[in-house]
């Protein structure tokens, strides 16, 4: 096994709606003297993807409904923000202590349906998740692969909390150029046991690893993971979502 490197990509400028993220990533890599290689995994935080795709909402233009106003009053929240969260939700999974754990239209389960008011450019605006993070990842992949002449994977990440555990970690919400799960089904350890842990969510592990290079304040929205042999394939982040029938914590 060889070493895995997590290389932060610095100097990505503030991203605006309509920006070509793949070009910006290529330019930043060139300035840094980084040439993309076959097998690189480019890990991009959701926030810059949402900005580039214009997924920013001005709260001043939001008219909260009655339910949003009730929730906001009870928990001292901004009713317009609650309205946006409800609009992004397919289902409320839990609602207590002023926390809203929502299932997004993508099937992701996270606080506030992924609506985020930090690290947006202007006060009074919030960022929504990309409409189709797998498609976002695929567009970035193609936008880098063609000029760079290499084959690579792209992961779009977001920062979620977890049941039972304190602190947040980054998860893969969009994937292109790889399978997000590594399957050990049917493989046997040296003692002859079939491995019980049959699938590792390597895209989530890559997302978490890249966060070590992103940081939250350092404006490093892109990191390149090099030296890790991703599971080959054309998977999407949808295969990271558990079938509701098999989930004990719906």
In the window 138-197, what residues touch its own copies (CB under 8 A)?
159, 162-171, 180-181, 184, 187, 189-197
Are 207 and 170 spatial neighbours (Cβ–Cβ below 8 Å)? Answer: yes
| 22-30, 50-58, 59-67, 236-244 -> range binding its own copies (CB under 8 A) | 236-244
Q: Is 123 in the site for its own copies (CB under 8 A)?
A: yes
Measured CA to CA, the distance from residue 78 to residue 60 in angstroms comes to 11
Q: Which of 4, 44, 39 is nearest to 24 (CA)?
A: 44
Q: Is 60 in the site for its own copies (CB under 8 A)?
A: no
In the complex with its own copies, the residue whose CB is nearer, 61 or 197, is 197
Identified binder of its own copies from the candidate list 28, 154, 206, 222, rule CB under 8 A: 206
Mention every residue, 6+ apart, whose C-beta is less than 8 A from residue 17: 51, 52, 53, 54, 56
CB atoms within 10 A of CB 138: 18
Q: Is 215 in the site for its own copies (CB under 8 A)?
A: yes
Q: How far is the CB of 56 from its own copies (least distance, A)?
A: 11
Q: How far is the CB of 34 from its own copies (least distance, A)?
A: 10
Distances (CA, A) of 140 to 18, 20, 154, 177, 240: 13, 9, 7, 10, 20
Identified binder of its own copies from the candidate list 205, 221, 222, 235, rule CB under 8 A: 205
CB atoms within 10 A of CB 207: 29
Q: Is 36 in the site for its own copies (CB under 8 A)?
A: no
Measured CA to CA, the distance from residue 6 to residue 103 in angstroms comes to 31
Q: How far is the CB of 146 from its own copies (least distance, A)?
A: 26
Q: How far is the CB of 85 from its own copies (least distance, A)?
A: 12
Q: Is 6 in the site for its own copies (CB under 8 A)?
A: yes
Q: How far is the CB of 142 from its own copies (least distance, A)?
A: 25
Residue identified by tokens 């609506």 is: 115
In the complex with its own copies, the residue whose CB is nearer, 143 or 170, is 170
Instruction: List the beta bridge partners of residue 27.
Output: none
For 249, phi and psi rounded to 5 degrees? -130, 35
Residue identified by tokens 């949808």 is: 238
Question: What would the two tokens of residue 182 be?
Answer: 């590594």
Q: Is 58 in the site for its own copies (CB under 8 A)?
A: no
Q: Is 18 in the site for its own copies (CB under 8 A)?
A: no
In the complex with its own copies, the residue whose CB is nearer, 53 or 103, is 103
Binding mask 63-102 for its own copies (x = CB under 8 A): -------------------------------x-xx-x-x-
Are 203 and 231 spatial neighbours (Cβ–Cβ below 8 Å)? Answer: no
Q: How far is the CB of 87 from its own copies (least distance, A)?
A: 19
Question: What would the two tokens of residue 149 be?
Answer: 């002449």
């Amino acid at each position: 096994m060889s070493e895995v490197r997590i290389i932060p990509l610095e100097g990505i400028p503030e991203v605006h709606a309509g920006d070509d993220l793949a070009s910006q990533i290529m330019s930043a890599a060139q300035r840094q003297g980084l040439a993309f290689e076959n097998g690189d995994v480019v890990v991009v935080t959701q926030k810059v993807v949402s900005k580039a795709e214009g997924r920013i909402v001005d709260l001043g233009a939001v008219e909260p409904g009655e339910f949003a106003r009730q929730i906001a009053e009870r928990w001292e929240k901004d009713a317009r923000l609650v309205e946006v969260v409800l609009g992004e939700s397919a289902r409320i999974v839990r609602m207590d202590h002023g926390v809203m754990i929502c299932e997004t239209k993508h099937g992701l389960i996270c606080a506030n349906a992924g609506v985020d008011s930090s690290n947006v450019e202007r006060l009074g605006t919030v960022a929504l998740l990309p409409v189709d993070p797998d498609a976002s990842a695929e567009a970035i992949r193609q936008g880098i692969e063609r000029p760079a002449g290499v084959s690579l994977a792209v992961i779009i990440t977001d920062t979620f909390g977890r049941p039972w555990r304190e602190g947040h970690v980054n998860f893969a919400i969009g994937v292109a150029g790889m399978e997000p799960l590594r399957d050990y089904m049917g493989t046997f350890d040296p003692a002859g046991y079939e491995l019980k842990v049959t699938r590792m969510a390597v895209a989530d592990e890559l997302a978490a690893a890249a966060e070590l290079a992103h940081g939250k304040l350092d404006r490093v929205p892109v990191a390149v993971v090099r030296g890790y042999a991703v599971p080959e394939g054309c998977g999407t982040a949808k295969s990271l979502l558990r079938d509701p029938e098999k989930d004990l914590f719906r």
